[in-house]
Chain A
Amino acid sequence: MVLDNIDLSVPPRDLTAIVGPSGCGKSTLLRIVLGQDTPLAGEVFVYGDPVMRPDLSRGIVYQNYSLLPHLTVLQNVLAGDRLRHSVFWRTTGEYRAKRDEAMQFLKKAGIAEHAHKYPAQLSGGQSQRVAIVQTLFQRPKIVLMDEPFSALDPSTRENMQLWLLELWREYQLTVFFVTHDLEEACFLGTRLVALSPYYTDDRGDDPRVMRGSKVVMDVPIRHAGRISPPSVKETAAFGEMIEHVRRNAFDPTHRQHVERFELLYQYSWHTLTADESHPKT
């Protein structure tokens, strides 16, 4: 078992950063939300509607493979519209309007000059810019991001982080951002969710007890609508926060009991089953 009884609610316009040690199941959680994986039990709702398979309601930006290799940058941005219409749609005026809109978007993203290149000809940062444009162009209700900047070099990465924050503010995006990088999570997120397999409960030591990762921490980081400058990363408070998360979620020798998880976010809650937590006598 990878994930163990996860309750999570993401309000609109939050930028939720999911962190956790490698193998803790944060990508699995994202794939369940996306509909790529099916949970053994439980459901996913978007604006109250249960969702199953991947569809237009949830956009996705992967670390790799987000772009369709046989289409140019512009065609990739238009891919959604093309796929939802017949092949003859490309002769209509509607298509031309869409194409101009896509070019505008690419221009704003600073990659208009690459519009007619293929993904294989782009650098890592350019690819991820196109992938984000491609996803946002479909106006999904929630944007899922799975380690989107993890393969980039540090300076490109910081540029991308800032750009993402600008986009998030400008388009009032709801983002579900998975990363293994605590600094990135603390810098980007309005809220930080830490998944971890390192905790204790009252289920005992029986090897038949199958434990999975739980949300061990769910805290607000900054107010929605505010963007911090990169210099915040240099402050002592920022460093302390990272240390705090590292200790609670990443340190196998430090295990909290399920009742003592730090769940301070306003929309977070935690349902404990009877065997996980016995009433103390």
Chain B
Amino acid sequence: MYKPPRIFGIYAEPNGARWILAALPFVILVAGYAVTSEMMHAATPDEKLFPTFGQMANTMWRLATETNKGAGQILLWTDTVASLGRLLCGVYIAAAIGLVLGVNMAMFPGFRATFAPFITFLSIIPPLALISILLIALGVGEVSKVTLIFFGTVFVITRDIYLATLAIPIEQTVKALTLGATQLGVVYRVILPQIIPRLLSAVRLALGSAWLFLIAAEMIAASDGLGYRISLARRLQNMDVIYPYVLWITLLGFMLDTILRRLTSWLYPWYTSDNSKS
């Protein structure tokens, strides 16, 4: 009987080994780090650059459960709430404006002719280059951070919505007109509702870069937030804070993505076309 190979070659069928294979890189990373940190600590007990997993767990537990002396708050939650607030606020505004721009650009040639070149121009500006301008113009408060996240994500979302709207068959527009819809009715009551789940997918994609801009902004000016804590920990060389925080950010990103994906299939059961792909 033919038995396909487990791992090697294009005919491989990992099946049961799939989980083991998936875990392998993680195990190597974790084991490599554990060995390194233990060896470093054997040599220098006070070593702080490669904290052991035990130290990290202790630090994280303290940050997640104990109130901080100076601020009187539980740091991990304060930071998480502050960061998520900024992130979601920026992305929310970007999504709203991206939706309006994208749909109108796709549906109204006059609107497209007016805004498409300008938006293309703006979208080429690397948002991180704007940080200092934003800080000087908008101050070091929340507005500049939210604006950076907005600026960093709005054009990707606009473009995605624009292309998705163009991809809606012309038959839908004609059909709606034969049903007696006005031009505005077609755009805002037939096309727009169909695009909303696409907006959620676009937001999921944009969240990746939104995190980048959030952390960058918080590292420069903030009084709380995950990026702020990392930059402070860097200043104080608290690597046992930095590693768990990075992991926590990864986890938050994953959770946000999952929530948005679930939300899409729950709110828009009719939206199946490219949901299965991602």
Q: Tell me, yes or no, whether A and B come into direct contact in the complex with CB atoms closer than 8 A.
A: yes
Measured CB to CB, the residues of A under 8 A from B are 34-36, 53-56, 58-60, 62, 64-66, 68-71, 79-80, 82-84, 118-121, 134-135, 138, 140
* Given A55-B180, A80-B180: A36 in contact with B170 (beta carbons within 8 A): yes
**Quick one: closest B residue to A59, CB to CB?**
B178
- Nearest-Cβ distance from residue A251 to partner chain B, whole angstroms: 32
Identify the interface centre among A83, A134, A135: most chain B CB within 10 Å of its CB. Answer: A83
Interface contact A34-B174, CB-CB below 8 Å = yes
Interface contact A56-B270, CB-CB below 8 Å = no
Please, how many angstroms separate the alpha-carbon atoms of A56 and B179 in the complex? 6
* Given A66-B171, A70-B193, A83-B189: A55 in contact with B269 (beta carbons within 8 A): no
- Nearest-Cβ distance from residue B217 to partner chain A, whole angstroms: 36
- Nearest-Cβ distance from residue B70 to partner chain A, whole angstroms: 52
B190 at the interface (CB under 8 A from A): yes
**Quick one: closest B residue to A63, CB to CB?**
B171
* Given A34-B174, A65-B169: A84 in contact with B190 (beta carbons within 8 A): no
A residues within 8 A CB of B265? none
Partner of B270, one of A79, A119, A135, A138: A119
A contact patch SS: loop
Please, how many angstroms separate the alpha-carbon atoms of A120 and B172 in the complex? 15
B residues within 8 A CB of A56? 178-180
12 A-B pairs (CB sep. < 8 Å)? A55-B180, A59-B178, A60-B174, A62-B175, A65-B171, A69-B270, A80-B180, A80-B181, A83-B181, A118-B269, A120-B272, A121-B270
* Given A68-B194, A118-B269, A120-B270: A80 in contact with B171 (beta carbons within 8 A): no
Interface contact B194-A70, CB-CB below 8 Å = yes
Contact residues, B175-202 vs A (CB, 8 A): 175-182, 185, 189-190, 193-194
Interface contact B177-A54, CB-CB below 8 Å = yes
A residues within 8 A CB of B177? 35, 53-55
**Quick one: closest B residue to A138, CB to CB?**
B179
* Given A83-B185, A120-B272: A68 in contact with B180 (beta carbons within 8 A): no
Interface contact B175-A138, CB-CB below 8 Å = no
- Nearest-Cβ distance from residue A102 to partner chain B, whole angstroms: 13
Partner of A70, one of B170, B175, B185, B270: B270
The proximity string for B residues 128-153 relative to A, scoring 1 for CB distances below 8 Å and 0 otherwise, is 00000000000000000000000000
Interface contact A68-B172, CB-CB below 8 Å = yes
The 5 A-B residue pairs with the shortest CB-CB distance in the complex, in nearest-first order: A80-B179, A118-B270, A54-B177, A83-B181, A65-B171
Partner of A138, one of B169, B178, B182, B272: B178
* Given A83-B190, A119-B270, A120-B272: A66 in contact with B175 (beta carbons within 8 A): yes
| Chain B contact patch, size range | 20 to 34
Please, how many angstroms separate the alpha-carbon atoms of A79 and B182 in the complex? 13
- Nearest-Cβ distance from residue B181 to partner chain A, whole angstroms: 4
Please, how many angstroms separate the alpha-carbon atoms of A140 and B177 in the complex? 12
* Given A62-B171, A83-B185, A120-B270: A55 in contact with B190 (beta carbons within 8 A): no
- Nearest-Cβ distance from residue A150 to partner chain B, whole angstroms: 15
Please, how many angstroms separate the alpha-carbon atoms of A85 and B181 in the complex? 9
B268 at the interface (CB under 8 A from A): yes
Identify the interface centre among A59, A69, A71: most chain B CB within 10 Å of its CB. Answer: A69
Please, how many angstroms separate the alpha-carbon atoms of A55 and B186 in the complex? 12
**Quick one: closest A residue to B197, CB to CB?**
A70
Interface contact A69-B194, CB-CB below 8 Å = yes
B residues within 8 A CB of A60? 174-175, 178
Given A56-B179, A68-B172, A134-B179, list of 11 further CB < 8 A pairs? A35-B174, A54-B177, A55-B178, A55-B180, A68-B190, A70-B268, A70-B270, A70-B271, A80-B179, A83-B179, A83-B182
B residues within 8 A CB of A62? 171, 175
A residues within 8 A CB of B179? 56, 79-80, 83-84, 134, 138
- Nearest-Cβ distance from residue B196 to partner chain A, whole angstroms: 8
- Nearest-Cβ distance from residue B39 to partner chain A, whole angstroms: 58
B residues within 8 A CB of A84? 179-181
Please, how many angstroms separate the alpha-carbon atoms of A64 and B145 in the complex? 46
